[in-house]
Each structure stands twice: as structure tokens, then as C-alpha cells.
Amino acid sequence: MTRNGTTRRNVLRSGAGVVAAGTLAAPMVHAQGTAGALRFAFWDHWVPGGNDALKELAAKWGEQKRVNVSLDFINTTGNQLQLTAAAQAQSRSGHDGISLTPWDVGAYSQQLEPVDDVIGRLVGKYGPINPVAEFLCKHGGKWRGVPATSGTQNKPACVRFDLMLEHAGIDVRAMWPANNTRGPGADNWTWETFTVAAEKCFKAGVPFGLPMGQFSDAVDWVGALFAGYGAQITDATGKPTIRGNAKLKTAIELGVRLSRFLPSDVWAWDDASNNRALIGGKSALVFNPPSAWAVAKRDAPQVAEKCWTIPMPAGPEGRYLAYLPFTTGVWAFGRNKTAAKEFLEFITQRESAEAITNKSGGYDIPPFASMTDFKVWETTSPPVGTIYNYPLKPHHQAKTSIAFDPAPPELASQMYIQALNTKVIARVAQGGETVDQAMGWLEREITNMRRG
């Protein structure tokens, strides 16, 4: 039976249209003799001009395939991108494809078109895909999105090499030079060494700028610290593995110890606070993509020319690099799914990925290990080679990580957004609880999240 009049779905559909209309409109690429239209929503890049590569690629592909491609760039300030995805998923209408934040792929997996065919061809050409991206994108044995280059970032250490050498006696440029070798001290670049250096820099008045609040920069670096100690909070089914977890306890204790050598206000820092600390010359080290360095290059060149990006420290269980990927998904309710998948395949190819990374000044990280040799990371300056070690390279002997891996996405997204890993440290360091009390709280919190 059909029903006339206004339905809940129609109203939601209209709402999603309004949200979409409110976003920054990018060019509509017209092609004569059109083979249909395609609408994509991409993350609006922080880096000025960072969207240009996608616009150019869309124009080129649209001309070739005679498809009208229109792109909207939606930023994550105020969670606009996440809200747009939520509205479109709820109303089952909107763009053909959309950029998704790490955990949203799992949240909307049932409404995303499988893209195994695209991934199969890309992996055949470029080799294995990043395992974290696979963990986030593959659900029920099917790929539900194509790991994106635009917006995907690593968060290694961006170090003021002059301050680090002067106050902590560590020459980071010698340790991690701008070539594929490990220098002296690289094997000893551990969280313990890091904490000692943090203390020295703190005493010298240039503390490490590590946020400990609820924003992603904080959650990501603490996630890499925990991974380095093998401190998993849950297993792959989501069952808490906290009780009697000595590795977790050690990681929390190190986090608490480290937090004593950070600025007193890091508990309230957002994702921009660490950038400001570096750019303002107040900090000897931050964990960040090259965006902080890029702003320093513009606003404080005397700071930028003394920055050097190096891998994160290692823990007893290995070296992990905080990795925050974007994924582009094709909605199952989209009108032009075949063209959407073709377009995604096109923008993920090496030439396209390099164009995207170049436009972003090296910020964007492609999902394939075989694509970590782009020239932009070698040539960017000042100083030359400053971001050579930004992408994960084999000589780093590291793995990428995302906080709360290997929890199932539904649970992990809640733990990530609610920053359980930084809070458990804060409860001890700031709240005065014992580590055991804080771990008890963590277990109860996760048990509660799993219900319903």
C-alpha cells in the first residue's frame, strides 16, 4: 500500500538537503553528452588550496567519462561533516559518496556500498593497504569504503631540534636523518627516553606540548603510547581486558609520570593548543602532522626552520605511529554507484594521490605503503628534509595505530569520542585516584557502553 502526504523519511530527506545546501559549494563540472551526475562530499582541507587537487581530478575525470561531477567540501569544525553523514544516513538521501571519519565507516557499514572490486584492483597495482585502514573499512568481510588520501594524517613528533639538543642532549636530525637510515640513538628512542627528555625540557621552560583533553590529538598520541606497551583495553569482541592487565597499568603509570612534565593546562587543550605552543616557541615537541610546521613557516619562520619531524617513541611492544585516516564511502542509496566507485578508484591511483599530497604540502598520507616515497616529503623546506620522516617508512620499524584498536567500531567510536584513554590518566594525575581505581572506572565505563 502506498501512502500519500508527508512521511518521516520525506521530512528527513528535506532536512538532509538543507544541510547539504548549506555546505561550501565547489565547482560543478559539466560534461557534454552527460553520462549522469555525481555528487561527492569531501572533507574541507585545513591547508589552503588543499582541495584544489580533488577539484582538478574531478574535472579531468568528469570530462573523460562525460559525467557531471559536483563536489562539496564540508569541514569538521563543529562536526559538520559528521552531522551531514548522520543526516544522510538517517534520511537515506544526499550525496553519492562522502568522506567519513575513522569510526563512521563501521557505524554506517550497512548503508555503504561494498567496494571490494575497487580495492582488489588497487591492491593488485599498489600492494597491501594500511592495516589500520583495513580494520576501519572492512566489515563483515567486505570493504565498505575506500581509504582516502585527502585528510588522512600521521601524528609523529614535530621537534624543535635546537631546543631538544640544548636541553635534552638529543640530536633528532642525526637520529632520524632525511634518508632511509636510522642514526645513532634511534634504537633508544623509547617512551622512557622521551619522558626523561620531557622532564628536562619542562625544567628548561619549553615543555612538550602534549594535549591531555578530549580532542583527537590527545586521544591519538595516548593511543600510540598504549599500543607501544601492548596495553589493549578490550579484545576484538569488545570485552574489557582491564582487570589484572599489567601492561595497561604500566602504560597508565608512564602517562601519569609524563603528564607531570607537561604544561599545567594540557587537560583543557584542544587540537589547536599544541600547534600554538610550537608556533609560539613555547614548546620543544608536539605530536602533529606538518600543519603546525606549515603555519609556523608562514607566521613564525624562525620557528619553522628549526623543526624536524621524527617517528613516535617505541614501547616494549614496538613503535606505533598515531594514524587518523579518512575514508570515502559510496552510499548504498546513491543514484550513481557505479560511477561513484570508478571515481574513487581514479582519485586513489598513485598519480592522483601524489597530486593530492603535493597540493597539501605533504600533509595527506596515501593508504598504500608503496606511496610513501613522494618527492614532496624529501624536498619540502625549511630545513630541507624536515618532513622526510612524516610518512611511515620501513626503516622506522613501526606500525600505524589507532586508539582502541581492536575493539569493534561501535564500541571503539564511543571510547574514542569520549577519550577514555586520556581520562583514565587524568583521573590519576589530576583527580587523585590510584591507578587501580582509575582502571576500575574504565572497566565499568566500557561495560556500560556495551549495553543496549
Binding mask 6-45 for another protein (x = CB under 8 A): --x-------------------------------------
- Would you say 193 or 430 has its CB closer to another protein? 430
* Binding residue (CB under 8 A) for another protein from 43, 103, 331, 368: 103
150 contributes a contact to another protein by CB under 8 A: no
Counting Cβ atoms within 10 Å, is residue 224 exposed (0-12), middle (13-18) or buried (19+)? buried
CA-based nearest residue to 258, from 169, 308, 197: 197
Query: At its nearest, how many Å lie between another protein and the CB of residue 187?
Result: 34
- Would you say 22 or 49 has its CB closer to another protein? 22
- Cα separation, 321 vs 399, whole angstroms: 6
282 contributes a contact to another protein by CB under 8 A: yes
- Cα separation, 414 vs 200, whole angstroms: 36
Per DSSP, what are the bridge partners of residue 98? 41, 329
- Would you say 3 or 8 has its CB closer to another protein? 8
Show the CA angle centred on residue 131, arms to residues 286 and 174, nearest 5°: 40
Using the rule CB under 8 A, give the single segment among 41-49, 367-375, 380-388, 437-445 that binds another protein. Answer: 437-445
* Binding residue (CB under 8 A) for another protein from 31, 37, 107, 206: 107
Alpha carbon of residue 232 to chain centroid = 19
Binding mask 237-276 for another protein (x = CB under 8 A): --------------------------xxxxxxxx--x--x
- Would you say 267 or 320 has its CB closer to another protein? 267
Query: At its nearest, how many Å lie between another protein and the CB of residue 206?
Result: 13
User: Any idea what DSSP says for residue 168?
Assistant: I
Query: At its nearest, how many Å lie between another protein and the CB of residue 32?
Result: 42
Binding mask 42-81 for another protein (x = CB under 8 A): -------------------------------------x--
405 contributes a contact to another protein by CB under 8 A: no
From first CA to last CA, the distance across the chain in angstroms is: 33
- Cα separation, 220 vs 231, whole angstroms: 14
Query: At its nearest, how many Å lie between another protein and the CB of residue 83?
Result: 6
- Would you say 172 or 212 has its CB closer to another protein? 212
Cell of 8: 518521516
φ and ψ of 56, to 5 deg: -65, -40
Place of cell 589484572: 244
CA-based nearest residue to 94, from 343, 331, 336, 341: 331
- Would you say 94 or 263 has its CB closer to another protein? 263
441 contributes a contact to another protein by CB under 8 A: yes
Alpha carbon of residue 15 to chain centroid = 29
86 contributes a contact to another protein by CB under 8 A: yes
Counting Cβ atoms within 10 Å, is residue 419 exposed (0-12), middle (13-18) or buried (19+)? buried
375 contributes a contact to another protein by CB under 8 A: no
Query: At its nearest, how many Å lie between another protein and the CB of residue 138?
Result: 18
414 contributes a contact to another protein by CB under 8 A: yes
Cell of 111: 548503508
Binding mask 188-227 for another protein (x = CB under 8 A): -------------------------xxx------------
Q: Is the peptide bond before 131 cis (omega within 30 degrees of 0)?
A: no
- Cα separation, 164 vs 201, whole angstroms: 7
- Cα separation, 230 vs 54, whole angstroms: 38
Using the rule CB under 8 A, give the single segment among 47-55, 247-255, 308-316, 412-420 that binds another protein. Answer: 412-420
Asked if 288 contacts 274 with a C-beta cutoff of 8 angstroms, the reply is yes
- Would you say 125 or 239 has its CB closer to another protein? 239
Query: At its nearest, how many Å lie between another protein and the CB of residue 413?
Result: 5
443 contributes a contact to another protein by CB under 8 A: no
Residues binding another protein: what is the number (CB under 8 A)?
Answer: 41
Q: Which residues from 313-342 bind another protein, rule CB under 8 A?
A: none
372 contributes a contact to another protein by CB under 8 A: no
Pairing of strands 398-401, 318-324: parallel
Amino acid at 386: T
Residue 184: which residues within 8 A CB-CB, separation 6 or more? 174, 175
Q: What is the DSSP string of 79-100?
A: GHHHHHHHHHHHHT-S-SEEEE
Counting Cβ atoms within 10 Å, is residue 51 exposed (0-12), middle (13-18) or buried (19+)? buried
Query: At its nearest, how many Å lie between another protein and the CB of residue 283?
Result: 10
* Binding residue (CB under 8 A) for another protein from 27, 128, 205, 431: 431
For another protein, the binding residues (CB under 8 A) are 8, 79, 82-83, 86, 90, 103-104, 107, 213-215, 263-270, 273, 276-277, 280, 282, 410, 413-414, 417-418, 423, 426-427, 430-431, 441, 444-445, 448, 451-452
